[in-house]
Amino acid sequence: MPSLKDLKNRIGSVKNTRKITKAMQMVAAAKLRRAQDAAEAARPYAERMTSVMSGLSSAASGSAEAPRLLAGTGSDKVHLLVVMTAERGLCGGFNSTIVRLARVHANRLIAEGKTVKILTVGKKGREQLKRDLGSHFVGHVDFSEVKRMGYAQAQAVARDILSRFDEGEFDVATLFFNRFQSVISQIPTAQQVIPAKFDEAPQVSALYDYEPSEEGILADLLPRAVATQVFTALLENAASEQGARMSAMDNATRNAGDMINRLTIQYNRSRQAAITKELIEIISGAEAL
């Protein structure tokens, strides 16, 4: 049974931990508001870009001059998985859910006889995948020094992906990230970016003439579309990370409070038992005299 001093030291330690988790929760809440606003502000642009690209791609899909980013290489033997996670932990299951989805996808492709290459964005995903899929790593993007995610970071990742595609390193590229829904809900998402896949364009009565041509416009817009998809994924991930961290630190703070209450009760009972024992010894000694 722990002594009174041990219990007192443990209560003090848990109280210090609760102060830290409470501070981290407040910091995450402040960052979440900015990250959520950025993610929500980017969605209309991304949706409009998808709508435009959907119309163009449907018009050029059967053309022999369709860009390779749209038509693909004609094969799906080599897959590039771009796994986007956080640089830091203490955010609940945020990183694990992304890694789990990527691992299932990779193992399925390997079982089908496909070649899998993995590009990691964020240290935590690389650490979790290193043990069983480390031999498939082809690159890593480090954003540990970046305070706020911006379009420049998305362009860096997009350029890496596009240069690998131009060099013939893969046939299909898929992004893995968490889509922000709420503080307590982040949706693990796998999104194919190469060959480009867009939702079917809605049927409209208006007809458009493109200059110079659908293929020419697509060749210019498709790299931007890839960068936009990467940027959207990074923003969704940033908001999801802060939401998950805020929720995790709130739970940790509550658990610390519960532990303090239990330890305080145990401390009081032990102290009461020690006092009672001392009184009994005093009374027994007095009666003996």
CA 220 to chain centre: 30
Q: Residue 99: what pLDDT?
A: 93
User: Residue 91 catalytic?
Assistant: yes
Q: Please pick, among 28, 35, 71, 91, the residue that the annotation labels catalytic.
A: 91
Kindly give, in sequence order, each residue whose CB lies less than 8 Å from that of residue 80, ignoring residues fewer than 6 positions away: 117, 118, 119, 138, 161, 164, 169, 170, 172, 173, 174, 194
Q: Which fold has domain 29-246?
A: Pyruvate Kinase; Chain: A, domain 1 (3.40.1380)
Q: Do the Cβ atoms of 28 and 172 come closer than 8 Å?
A: no
Q: Residue 7: what pLDDT?
A: 85
In this model, does residue 200 exceed pLDDT 60? no
CATH code assigned to 4-22+249-288: 1.10.287.80
In this model, does residue 186 exceed pLDDT 50? yes
Q: Residue 199: what pLDDT?
A: 61
**The one-letter amino acid at 120:** T
What average pLDDT does this structure show over 191-219?
A: 66
Tokens 């802060």: give the residue: 242
What average pLDDT does this structure show over 28-45?
A: 87
In this model, does residue 205 exceed pLDDT 50? no
What average pLDDT does this structure show over 246-269?
A: 91
Q: Residue 201: what pLDDT?
A: 47
Higher model confidence: residue 57 or residue 35? 35
Q: Which two tokens stand for residue 60?
A: 């050029």
Q: Residue 283: what pLDDT?
A: 82
Q: Residue 16: what pLDDT?
A: 93
Please list the residue range(s) of the chain that carry CATH number 1.10.287.80.
4-22+249-288
Q: Residue 221: what pLDDT?
A: 79
Instruction: Give percent above pLDDT 90 in the chain.
Output: 44
Return the closest-CA partner of residue 149 out of 118, 103, 180: 180
Residue 47 to residues 199, 203, 240: CA-CA distances in angstroms? Answer: 10, 17, 19
What average pLDDT does this structure show over 262-280?
A: 86
Please list the residue range(s) of the chain that carry CATH number 3.40.1380.10.
29-246
Mean pLDDT, rounded, of the chain: 85
- Phi and psi torsions of 246, nearest 5°: -60, -45
Q: Residue 75: what pLDDT?
A: 86
pLDDT in tens, 52-95: 777 666 655 556 666 777 777 888 899 999 999 998 888 888 99
Classify residue 85 by its DSSP letter: -
What average pLDDT does this structure show over 199-227?
A: 66
In this model, does residue 204 exceed pLDDT 60? no
CA distance 74 to 195: 10
